[in-house]
A and B are shown apart, each in its own frame.
Chain A
């Protein structure tokens, strides 16, 4: 049996504590946090954000991920938002017709329902093949507010800004 990702996605969530960004290596920093729903820290449910240490105000990813205890289906991210990415995204030949075969170079949203309605099996395996652009390009504060609203994390203000103070350039 597997958790119903649509219920997890729709539920109002909170961070159980204030997580901090960790420097993973010379290039990247990561913040991960468990997620609470109705006061319960849900097994396998996690928030993850990634940023580049030397790229302030650019290329930050936020995602919700769920890994079932038995990894069957294997799980993975089920919603992701990419802010000012260095890499673009191509929906290939799926998703909204007007976005097919278009390279989305700006901030974009691997929106849960769009992907879920396309293929529940793919989403359960962590494949978020479809994204939609977010326009106009939001500021960092705006994208964090957007993440909170879309991921339904009520205390999103507990998410600290990436630590770009050690930028080498």
Chain B
């Protein structure tokens, strides 16, 4: 355990704490910078206006702007509305706000607005990463249809696994009695876990269909590749049509 040894250490800590929060006073209000970070690493700033008895606190659309710059502003609007409902904080489609905030509530309102803004951006960034996986599935399906023909590719194929749970797969390629199941996995832990779970359950079936997982880059997947390769073959999205055909025919 590290112990603080003298008053100099306390003073350094006090200086650091004073640096964590700051306010820039402007005619339209005071911009308060807080020790909260958006996913980009930018600090969360809220604006306080009004006073001296009641105040107006808003993130003045900073969260929306952060999301817009990351290309997930539409997701942000949905998340922000939900957070607004859950927390009772106002949201006007651009900014979180709290009105008629008393002086004794001001500190709490600043923290609440800042957290709502940061949470909405963080969730939006997370959801945008998930959405990329859906877009990737569309690419996978398009590629399968090019290689095998649209009539042999079934989208959103459902199959019951050994657990008796019904799973949905991005696509299946059917050739007579032979079926190959396809999924796309991203490096995101949720994506890997989800794909590994469904492939594992199918692998336990008698006469299990061939299972193929497409990834953007094997290098990028790192050790997650091993998690997926327990129960499925893995290909990169740059795989040629011939290789894809051979893989499915080996089923």
Q: Say whether B166 faces chain A, with CB atoms less than 8 Å apart.
A: no
Number of A positions contacting B (CB below 8 A): 43
| A73-B69 contact, Cβ under 8 Å, with A27-B60, A129-B41 | no
Q: Considering the complex, which residues of chain B in the window 18-33 have a beta carbon less than 8 Å from any beta carbon of chain A?
A: 19, 22, 24, 26-28, 31, 33
Q: Considering the complex, which residues of chain A in the window 101-153 have a beta carbon less than 8 Å from any beta carbon of chain B?
A: 103, 105, 121, 125-129, 131
Residue of A at shortest CB range from B40? A128
Q: How far is the CA of A35 from the CA of B61 in the complex (A)?
A: 27
Q: How far is the CA of A126 from the CA of B72 in the complex (A)?
A: 11
A91 touches B132 (CB 8 A): no
| A72-B69 contact, Cβ under 8 Å, with A87-B45, A103-B43 | no
Taking a contact as CB atoms closer than 8 A, the residue among A27, A67, A89, A129 that contacts B94 in the complex is A27
Q: How far is the CA of A128 from the CA of B237 in the complex (A)?
A: 26
Q: Say whether B80 faces chain A, with CB atoms less than 8 Å apart.
A: no
Q: Which of B61, B68, B71, B128 has the most CB of A within 10 A?
A: B71
Taking a contact as CB atoms closer than 8 A, the residue among B43, B68, B128, B136 that contacts A88 in the complex is B43
Q: Say whether A162 faces chain B, with CB atoms less than 8 Å apart.
A: no
Instruction: List chain B residues, Cβ under 8 A from A126.
Output: 70-71
Q: Say whether B39 faces chain A, with CB atoms less than 8 Å apart.
A: yes
Instruction: List chain B residues, Cβ under 8 A from A61.
Output: 69
Q: Say whether B44 faces chain A, with CB atoms less than 8 Å apart.
A: yes
10 contacts between A and B (CB under 8 A): A27-B61, A65-B69, A65-B71, A72-B136, A77-B69, A86-B33, A88-B33, A89-B42, A126-B71, A169-B26
Majority DSSP secondary structure for residues of B touching A: mixed
A55 touches B26 (CB 8 A): yes
B128 touches A74 (CB 8 A): yes
Q: Say whether A33 faces chain B, with CB atoms less than 8 Å apart.
A: no
Known contacts A1-B237, A63-B69; 17 additional CB pairs below 8 A are A27-B94, A30-B68, A61-B69, A65-B69, A65-B71, A71-B131, A71-B135, A72-B135, A74-B128, A74-B129, A76-B70, A86-B31, A87-B44, A88-B33, A89-B42, A92-B41, A103-B19
B132 touches A72 (CB 8 A): yes
Q: Say whether B155 faces chain A, with CB atoms less than 8 Å apart.
A: no
Instruction: List chain B residues, Cβ under 8 A from A30.
Output: 68
Instruction: List chain A residues, Cβ under 8 A from B152.
Output: none
Q: How far is the CA of A107 from the CA of B19 in the complex (A)?
A: 18
Residue of B at shortest CB range from A75? B71
Instruction: List chain A residues, Cβ under 8 A from B136.
Output: 70, 72
Residue of A at shortest CB range from B135? A71
Q: How far is the CA of A126 from the CA of B104 in the complex (A)?
A: 40
Q: How far is the CA of A121 from the CA of B220 in the complex (A)?
A: 8
The 3 A-B residue pairs with the shortest CB-CB distance in the complex, in nearest-first order: A74-B132, A169-B27, A72-B136
CB distance from B103 to the nearest CB of A (A): 23
Q: How far is the CA of A27 from the CA of B94 in the complex (A)?
A: 9
Bitwise interface map of A from 26 to 41 toward B, beta carbon under 8 Å scored 1, else 0: 1110100000000000
Q: How far is the CA of A86 from the CA of B61 in the complex (A)?
A: 13
Q: Say whether A168 faces chain B, with CB atoms less than 8 Å apart.
A: yes
B71 touches A67 (CB 8 A): yes
Q: How far is the CA of A95 from the CA of B219 in the complex (A)?
A: 23
Residue of A at shortest CB range from B44? A87
A168 touches B41 (CB 8 A): no
CB distance from B127 to the nearest CB of A (A): 11
B37 touches A90 (CB 8 A): yes
Instruction: List chain A residues, Cβ under 8 A from B238.
Output: 1
